Structure formats: C-alpha cells, structure tokens
C-alpha cells in the first residue's frame, strides 16, 4: 500500500510574507532560503530530506479551491499508486500534475475542503 512518508511542507498565507519572514528570522532564527525555510533531516533509509515551511501572499490562488489560509504537503513513496488508492476511495483529486527535477506533485481535497499537496521526491533523495 502506498502512503505518506513524512511532512514535506507547511504553507500559509500572510498579508506581508517578506515582513513576516523577517520577524521569524529575527525572533526565532528561521532563515529563508530557496523560497522558504528548510528543515533538513534524514529519512528512515538515511537519505537527506527536508520539510519546507513557507509563507505565501494572502491573495495567492495556489491553495484553490480551498478557502483555508494554509496547505499541508505530504511526502509520499509512490504518487501514482496512492492516487489510484485515493480515487478508489472516492477522494476528490485535482487532475493537475507537476513534474520537476525535485519531484512529482499532485493535489487532493480532504472531506472539509482543505487542499493537500502530495509530493513524491526523486528516488534516492
């Protein structure tokens, strides 16, 4: 059974993302790099991994159709297999897919309308 292997990221909306990043850097030591704050760790097999914490503009449509001011990203081990399982369970799946050198992405909605990003990192990363 395909499934989630960890939290890939936590994203939320703010009125002034850059000012808020500055506040978090000054007060909590969270330094922005590559579009967000990267918490680095090793997965169960010892491979390098990271969880991204990022702030988006309040008016972003990246979380649509969710009205929530946040979106979670989960790392998954087999995106295609997981999407098949979710489809069989009747989960709402966005047909959009993105493939980048840093992984493959898909989106689903939970029963309360929260958009969830699923991320399959490249094999060996």
Domain residue extents for the chain: 4-120
Q: What angle do CA 81, 4, 36 make, to 5 degrees?
A: 120
pLDDT-derived band at 124, boundaries 50, 70, 90: low
The two three-digit tokens of residue 35, written as one number: 């579009």
Indicate the fold that domain 4-120 takes in CATH: 2,3-Dihydroxybiphenyl 1,2-Dioxygenase; domain 1 (3.10.180)
SS3 of the chain: helix, strand, coil, percent, to 5? 20, 45, 40
In this prediction, residue 43 carries a pLDDT of: 83
Instruction: Output b/e per residue, 78-95; b: 16+ Cβ within 10 A.
Output: ebeebbeebeeeeeeebe
The closest alpha carbon to 56, from 9, 103, 109, belongs to 9
In this prediction, residue 51 carries a pLDDT of: 95
pTM over 0.85: yes
Mean pLDDT of 105-123: 95
How far is it, in rounded angstroms, from Cα 42 to Cα 15? 33
Q: Are 41 and 3 in contact (CB under 8 A)?
A: no
């Amino acid at each position: 059974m395909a499934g989630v292997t960890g939290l890939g990221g936590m994203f939320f909306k703010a009125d002034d993302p850059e000012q808020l990043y500055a506040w978090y850097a000054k007060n909590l030591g969270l330094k922005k790099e590559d579009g967000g704050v990267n918490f680095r760790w090793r997965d169960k097999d010892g491979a390098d991994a990271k969880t991204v914490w990022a702030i988006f503009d309040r008016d972003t449509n990246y979380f649509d159709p969710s009205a929530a001011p946040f979106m979670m990203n989960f790392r998954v081990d087999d995106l295609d297999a997981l999407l098949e399982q979710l489809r069989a369970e009747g989960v709402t799946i966005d047909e959009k897919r993105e493939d980048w050198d840093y992984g493959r992405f898909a989106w689903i909605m939970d029963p309360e309308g929260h958009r969830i990003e699923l991320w399959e990192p490249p094999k060996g990363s």
